[in-house]
Amino acid sequence: MELKDATILITGGTLGIGYETARLLIDSGARVAITGRDSGRVESAAEELGALGIVADVAKIEDVDRTYDRFLGEFGRLDCLINNAGIGRSRKVEELTVEDFQEIYAVNVFGAAMMASRAAVLFRKQKSGNIVNISSTAGTKGYPGGSIYASSKFALRGMTQCWQAELRPHNVRVFLINPSEVTTAFGNPEREERPDEPNKLRGQEIAQAIKGALEMDDRGFIPELTVWATNPF
């Protein structure tokens, strides 16, 4: 994929992995829009990056529709969707509630699916396109307290494999990226970035992995890519 002048939509792009990915892709000449739920953060991040900012919650179908209307109104076409928006919650099995599952799945599973569904319609018509789903190593192996979050990422991994099978005949590439622990605002109720730790991943490493995968010639793609910290111990 040629990144120069490519049009790219990144959900959850105001902080962490989404922000760093937007920055790297814009530096490579792409035209990028980012979404987020906090209008102040969206406005600030968009200005810093030189991106189009869209205030939207992927868990709300009306916001998904509005996001695409705004994006296509600005750029005219979509070359790549990066499903980065995600939230998490840790609960022991005896503490699980349906409400917790519904809240996390609304973003991590249903939101990602609805964003991809709209993108797939466009990509089938133009016979090209890219979908990047940001999952987690939690989507490959469960852990204590991970029933809600890990299962949502297992679901995203399963959907990714289905979309790969459905969209390959239309020259559409679907990638799954599994970061291990990254020092971002993820899981922080105040949504403040955690300080950098030398033995942990940063958003920059994941952004580089996404960029590298996308830059492969369109005749090939990487179905799944996992990024580990070299020595997190």
Catalytic residues: 149
List of residues 6+ apart from 6 with CB closer than 8 A:
25, 29, 30, 31, 79, 80
Taking CA 37 as the corner, what is the angle to CA 179 and CA 192, rounded to the nearest 5 degrees? 55
Strands (DSSP E) found in the chain: 7-10, 31-36, 52-55, 80-83, 129-134, 172-179, 224-227
Two structure tokens written together for 83: 């499903």
- Give first-to-last CA distance, the chain, whole Å: 36
Task: With beta carbons less than 8 A apart as the criterion, state whether 28 and 4 touch.
Answer: yes
Q: How many CB atoms lie within 10 A of CB 29?
A: 11
> Which of 45, 58, 43 lies closest to 203, judged by CA?
45
| C-alpha torsion sign, points 233, 223, 82, 152 | negative
| Whole-number Å distance between alpha carbons of 5 and 3 | 6
